[in-house]
Amino acid sequence: MKVQVCIIGGGPSGLLLSQLLHIQGVKTIVLEKRSRDYVLSRIRAGVLEHGFARLMREAKCGERMDREGEVHEGVFISRNGQLNRIDLHKYSDGNSVLVYGQTEVTRDLYDAHDRDGGAIVHNAEDVTLHDLKSDAPFVTYRSGDETIRVDCDYVIGADGFHGVSRPSIPKDTLKEYERVYPFGWLGVLSRTKPVSPELIYCKHERGFALCSLRSQVLSRYYLQVPLEDRVEDWSDEAFWEELKRRLPAQTASELVTGPSIEKSIAPLRSFVAEPMRYGRLFLAGDAAHIVPPTGARGLNSAGSDVYYLYHALVAHYKKADDAGLDLYSERALARVWKAQRFSWWLTTLLHTFPDDTPYLKRLKETELDYLFSSDKALGSLAENYVGLPY
């Protein structure tokens, strides 16, 4: 089998890049280790930058997103029992974010591939990358008892943090930066009316909380919990009671509770791998970088990688211009590190750390005081939250 671009990983970043290239006449194949049902069962974030939403429209996948997604022009930060609204629209030159679940993004991309004839292989086992430094790389995978070879011009590693792409780069070439946070997020999805029309980020002495949503009838809530906690330790009743403790009294009184339809604990990590290119291999998304979900930068950072790769590959095939490919790692990492900074800052500011000293606690309170006293500080937060330019 011969294609121009072989994409490892059938998550939203791999599917989006494949769809964009397909529209431009670039032949791709997507190799996904899991089944389609498994991929669509994963519950992930749901806040899209305006730039990511534009990419979905360019990929001819934005119709349902624009119809069903929730446009948010602001967010709340709760502290000392009070809600403080940040007007994203005002402080970011009229921009906003779109609340639309990552699962729905993936579903729309699958539908587009079905409609347009995009090539996706599911249950691709033992994926192996070969001759990445040559002009003729290839990928092999196993389907049942058969080993299949895919010859290509370029390989895109969009297979996540635990995928095979990043480990295919020699250790003496790859440099990794990591911070593991001393807590996780306990998340609950419920078929209940959201407590707020916009997201609420809660700073509380008992720990951070987040009130989010997927639609007007589907809510997503999170609690900061110790790393040693297990899902089994948290009944629905215990979750709702703890969430109420961390919310302002008025907000807690309006909270609609109900049975959880999904419950999980996610550890928080910051991670960056450099470079994001090795020969004919290009890393994208979680294969190269992870952020805490606090600032909603995970999928959106993957989106910026897709943007750079998409334009670089189209320029290569249509104009014989390799500048975008040559500069990909540098450009992608420049934006990735800015997303890392924003996520680190917001996570540090709003969470309770076990080693916080009285000095650090007071400093965080002063930081929040400054934030809400300065239009320039609010502008910086809004600019990063709606998405920095590509």
What would the DSSP string read from start to end of 11-44?
SHHHHHHHHHHHHTT--EEEE-SS-HHHHHH---
Terminal Cα distance for the chain, rounded: 34
DSSP sequence for 313-343:
HHHHHHH---HHHHTHHHHHHHHHHHHHHHH
Residue 164 structural domain:
5-72+96-178+268-352
| Domain CATH code at residue 339 | 3.50.50.60
Largest distance between two CA atoms of the chain: 65
Q: What is the pTM assigned to this prediction?
A: 0.96
Q: Give alpha helix (H) positions in the chain.
A: 12-23, 36-41, 50-58, 63-68, 88-91, 102-116, 236-246, 249-253, 298-319, 323-326, 328-350, 358-371, 375-386
233 located within any domain: no
Tokens standing for residue 53: 């939403």
d(CA 214, CA 219): 6
Domain total of the chain: 1
Q: What is the DSSP letter of 130?
A: E
Question: 344 CB contacts (<8 Å, ≥6 apart)?
Answer: 179, 270, 292
65 located within any domain: yes
190 located within any domain: no
Q: Helix, strand or coil for residue 84?
A: strand
Which uninterrupted H or E stretch holds 213?
Answer: strand 209-215
Over its length of 390 residues, how does the chain's per-residue pLDDT go in tens digits? 999 999 999 999 999 999 999 999 999 999 999 999 999 988 777 899 999 999 999 999 999 999 999 999 999 999 999 999 999 999 999 999 999 999 999 999 999 999 999 999 999 999 999 999 999 999 999 999 999 999 999 999 999 999 999 999 999 999 999 999 999 999 999 999 999 999 999 999 999 999 999 889 999 999 999 999 999 999 999 999 999 999 999 999 999 999 999 999 999 999 999 999 999 999 999 999 999 999 899 999 999 999 999 999 999 999 999 999 999 999 999 999 999 999 999 999 999 999 999 999 999 999 999 999 999 999 999 999 999 999
363 located within any domain: no
153 located within any domain: yes
60 located within any domain: yes
Angle between helix axes 328-350 and 298-319 (nearest 10 degrees) is 170
Query: Is residue 205 packed enough to be buried (19+ CB in 10 Å), middle (13-18) or exposed (0-12)?
Result: exposed
379 located within any domain: no
Handedness of CA 87, 55, 135, 158 (dihedral sign): positive
282 located within any domain: yes
